[in-house]
Structure 1
């Protein structure tokens, strides 16, 4: 049995054919979906950790033999879980530090860290211990986004990328917490922007607005303009990515994970038909996407199951983590820059 102070690399090892043993820390909404997709991706859920014992027990009933813990250190001492999913609302960096320090792989809800120093320390720690540290940046693992990347050349030169998030998650929260929630959306879009244009220097971003209700950022990479808007006031709720190219454009519904191409025809007839084509394409793609997700048993949080599966393969095979360590640091640097910006 392992004490809570040191680390044991044997704990983090999984045989090439073995199923990783998994512990879920946080039995709320995200913990439930992590547990479900962990099982679907080949993991075996052996422990649920939550200070709300009744909530943890309720989730554990879905996983035969899963133990329930109020205290995270007790879970580390008693179980041999090789992968820990951190699904709490707070303290992601502190929990990730304890997971890695105990020699376990970590799949961590965003943000992994909110400061550059924290992010670099965790990334360095995971690298030295040869452990997987995987943030939950699942949008880049959605099938729609993957299809767009596979056909990226059809966009022509990318002129503009717009990320938009309008959410109701801030209702009833104090202003500082609301602002932190908005800033916490940033890592998702850092992941998407990196996949499309490579790393973006955090110091290049201009913070146009940063309040408890709205966040607006812009930057430019070569000839491509990037923008991100997140709001608790905007309606209807949405998570979207628009990629505008010189040949055509792509619009991704990140709530549902589907892609709609927008043709670049210049004729009068093409312009007249454009809104009808967009509506028809959106309806058909939404229907196909929902049917596909039903077949894949992915009713919510598209991309999460694929991300977890990729992380488990990295654990099993000893390969690189599915999300590059540099992405964790870049996201933290940008969040730190926003936090230090004036409230405008």
Structure 2
């Protein structure tokens, strides 16, 4: 595979909609080559493909296995399983939008099929690879013992896409679970969730382990729209802005001066990190979905070097199992 990396990995994008466009940009950023775009709307596929080939289905790539290294699945969830199976049949590594499949059983079957062929199957849990989250993971010891981990998302996706509000919540759910899998003191699948659904398009879930509380708040009605992760530890806390990809750490010193100046220091830190983050993203031409390009880059590097994927299969399955547990509550 190292020779492939030298010649650029060859990628196919399945789905020429919004996410397909961002994946195409991530492929270029990672040093890959877009060789084909597949979409039932052939005109849309041609528009995204540019100088690459365009097809209405994967049938157009049958017999072309030697020309494809990675397939990016950016199509709607109902066709994920079929498209991932077809990508695996092409002997291609696969990067797929989350969730990989409707449930954990289907996810496990896809992981098994990929492993049998020595292929990677990587879900797009891009929040894990944002600079802010990477900084928190690298310096997690600064928090002391983690007391609380909160994910909150308020989204207007149901208004702008026409998605069923509950289905949208279900598609967002892998995000907090992927984040919690990196911070939880126990395996994710061991958490027992208490779930409340106050209204359509609303979900609240809470679990605890080893003194740490994990909370999920997803709302299709709350405004303004945002996505954030809050960590509270015995020595420090942090806030991560998941829409923009940065995080700030709030030291835990309990002094009168600290209490008096905290609103100002937090405001200054937020402004500084937000400004620096925006400057970097503008320079890179990264207008949305921070973390996606880094996830794709790490996956491509892993394919080229034969090293483990950036998201291990067991972690992918743990997220799917936890999602099933919450949706089944």
State the TM-score, normalized to the length of structure 1. Answer: 0.90
The whole-number CA distance in structure 2 between the counterparts of 1:137 and 1:71 is 26
Moved more, 183-192 or 73-82: 73-82
Partner residue, 1:72: 58
Q: Which piece of structure 1 moves more, 196-205 or 239-248?
A: 196-205
Equivalent residue for 1:296, pick from 284, 293, 311: 284
Query: Which residue is equivalent to 1:87?
Result: 74
Deviation (angstroms), 1:306: 0.5
Is the 1:203–1:337 Cα contact (8 Å) retained in structure 2?
A: no
1:184 corresponds in structure 2 to: 171
Q: Select which of 183, 190, 211 maps to 1:196.
A: 183
In structure 2, which of residues 31, 34, 42 is the aligned counterpart of residue 42 of structure 1? 31
Query: Which secondary structure does the structure 1 equivalent of 2:214 belong to?
Result: strand
Give, in whole Å, the separation in 1 of the partners of 2:46 and 2:253: 57
Q: Report the counterpart of residue 88 of structure 2 in structure 1.
A: 100
Listed as ranges, the matches of 1:241-280 within 5 Å are: 241-280=229-268
Match of 2:143 among 155, 166, 173: 155
Consecutive unaligned residues of structure 2, counting only runs of 5 or more, are none
1:138 aligns with 2:116: no
Q: Which moved further from structure 2: 198-207 or 324-333? A: 198-207
What SS does the corresponding residue of 2:7 show, helix, strand or coil? coil
Contact 2:299 2:309 in 1 (8 A): yes
Distance 1:217 1:115 in 2: 18
- Matches of 2:98 and 2:283 in 1, distance apart? 27
Matches within 5 A, 1:290-329: 290-329=278-317
Q: After the TM superposition, list the runs of 4 or more consecutive aligned residues in structure 1 that deviate by more than 6 angstroms.
A: 172-175
Per-residue CA deviations over 1:274-323 (Å, capped at 9, x if unaligned) read 11111111111100111122233322211100100111112111221111
C-alpha contact (below 8 Å) 2:191/2:209 kept by paired residues = no
Structure 1 residue 75: Cα displacement: 2.6
Say if 1:232 and 1:16 are closer, same or farther in 2 by CA, change over 3 A. closer
Report the RMSD for the aligned CA atoms in angstroms. Answer: 1.9
Structure 2 residue aligned with 1:232, among 201, 220, 225?
Answer: 220
- Structure 1 partner of 2:8: 19
Q: Distance in 1 between matches of 2:234 and 2:191?
A: 27
Residue in structure 1 matching 2:17, options 16, 28, 35: 28
* Secondary structure at 1:322 match in 2: coil
Assess if the C-alpha contact under 8 Å between 1:200 and 1:221 holds in 2: no
Q: Deviations over 1:250-277 (max 9, x none)?
A: 1000000001111223122211211111
- Corresponding residue of 2:208: 220
Aligned partners of 1:240, 1:145: CA distance in 2, in Å? Answer: 11
Q: Which runs of 5+ in 1 are unaligned?
A: 1-11
SS in 1 for 2:43: helix
